[in-house]
Amino acid sequence: MSNHSTNSNNLDLSNPFTLKNGTTIKNRLFKSAMSEQLGTKAHNPTRGLATLYKTWAEGGLGLSITGNIMVDRGALGEPKNVVLDEKSDLAPFREWAKAGTANGTHLWTQLNHPGKQIPNFICDEPVAPSAIALENGLEKGFNKPRALAENEILEIIQKFATAAELAKTAGFTGVQIHGAHGYLVSQFLSPRHNQRNDQWGGSLENRMRFVLAVYHAIREKVGKDFPIGIKLNSADFMRGGFTEEDSMEVVKALAEAGIDLIEISGGTYESPSMVGHKMKPTTQKREAYFLEYAEKVRSLIDTPLVVTGGFRSADGMVTALRSGATDFIGLARPLAVDPDLPNKLMTDATHSIELRPLTTGVKLVDKMAMLDITWYEFQLARMAQKKAPKPDMSEWSTFFKTLLGAGVYSFRKRRA
């Protein structure tokens, strides 16, 4: 059943959507992954994750994606990541899945391996497709990786498949492969980061072998009716990186392979366009950062699409849906400030949300504190404790709390 009907003028945020495998999502509002940093010492979910996702489910979302869950406990992107593998305790995962699927909401786990994007206080020697360090000032915080051996690549592919199978067992209703923002899948796709000369690198066909292998390995474990999505960069926005042309080819290959849903984002830690850096005026006018790219993708494939980044008003969202460029509206940071936003957007066509620019007034402090991430993490932590978000939370308090939190970690050599 195709959802791209000719009467797209009547489309609304509250319209259901049926994926090709028959899974129906009750509306078009999609929560994109945000890092919650709410894992236990053993990297299981804390109770707070169940509370947080239940709050979002009750807020009216159609489909919610978890923050990135690591498939390998030896490779954490951040200290308090949740890990899903054979050593995980499935009980808190079951509780999380049950809470997050309340109110008819879908909850998919985002599965990730950070590759070389591991802070150096967590890992001495991360792995990557090639032994190429991060640049643009990041080399101070991230160690140079060593290149993966082929048997290790095959092991990581199986870890993704195992995590997906466990997610299904625990009651999550789908999975999303994190193929964006410079993590391992995205490192394999990038000619800048992947300079291998075996079957996993070189030509685009070789560079996309990893992501396709991950997809097929997951599909084999979860069956054809369980949804598998991917979050993919439209481009890395870096010289020598993954280009828009490359991205279109990867999208076509994934569509042919049978992927159920593609979420479009962009950028990497080195060039973070996912949080709206260097935005063109036309983009600002249309709200969403990646809509133009989505329109090009739509002409190539009929796989359902999500565009995330920049949406702030019901009007902008409905316009994007009716243009046919996207099937779902991806929201992240607005939901950290107002978990009830989906209900408001669906009942009031004039509703919009403004996010204030965050700054301490000291550029260096802003950068150190990664305010664009940490301030929102503190909002998620509040909701996890059954408190309302605090939109007027001070940037300086975020900075000091982050310092305190990271201070403990930087003094303790972690063996994850």
* CA–CA distance, 185 with 206 (Å, rounded to integer): 13
Q: Are 241 and 235 within 8 A, CB to CB? A: yes
Strands 24-25, 17-18: pairing is antiparallel
Q: CB under 8 Å to 51, separation ≥6 — which residues? A: 99, 383, 384, 385, 386
For the chain, domain boundaries? 8-355, 361-416
Instruction: Report the greatest alpha carbon distance in the chain.
Output: 60
Structure tokens at 374: 């940490």
Burial track 121-151 (b if 16+ CB lie within 10 A, e otherwise) = bbbeebbbbbebebeeebeeebbebebbeee
Q: Tokens in use for 65? A: 């994606």
pLDDT for the residue numbered 6: 39
The CA distance from 266 to 42, in Å, is 31
User: From CA 359, how far away is CA 348, in angstroms rounded?
Assistant: 31
3.20.20.70, 2.70.98.40, 3.90.79.10, 1.50.10.20: which CATH number matches 8-355?
A: 3.20.20.70
pLDDT (tens place) for every residue of the chain, 416 residues total: 344 443 577 899 999 999 999 999 999 999 999 999 999 999 999 999 999 999 999 999 999 999 999 999 999 999 899 999 999 999 999 999 999 999 999 999 999 999 999 999 899 999 999 999 998 877 888 999 999 999 999 999 999 999 999 999 999 999 999 998 889 999 999 999 999 999 999 999 999 999 999 999 999 999 999 999 999 977 655 566 777 888 899 999 999 999 999 998 754 444 444 444 444 555 445 556 688 888 889 999 999 999 988 899 999 999 999 999 899 999 999 999 999 999 999 999 999 999 999 999 998 888 777 888 889 999 999 999 999 999 999 999 988 888 887 655 543 333 32
Sign of the four-CA dihedral 392, 376, 167, 346? positive
Three-class DSSP labels, the chain = CCCCCCCHHHCCCCCCEECCCCCEECCCEEECCCCCCCECCCCCECHHHHHHHHHHHHCCCCEEECCCEECCCCCCCCCCCEECCCCCCHHHHHHHHHHHCHHHCEEEEEEECCCCCCECCCCCCCEECCCCCCCCCHHHCECCCEECCHHHHHHHHHHHHHHHHHHHHHCCCEEEEEECECCHHHHHHCCCCCCCCCCCCCCHHHHCHHHHHHHHHHHHHHCCCCCEEEEEECCCCCCCCCCHHHHHHHHHHHHHHCCCEEEEECCECCECHHHCCCCCHHHHHHCCCCHHHHHHHHCCCCCCEEEECCCCEHHHHHHHHHCCCCCEEEECHHHHHCCCHHHHHHHCCCCECCCCCCCCCCHHHHHHHCHHHHHHHHHHHHHHCCCCCCCCCCHHHHHHHHHHHHHHHHHCCCCC
CA–CA distance from 285 to each of 269, 279, 280 (Å)?
A: 25, 10, 9
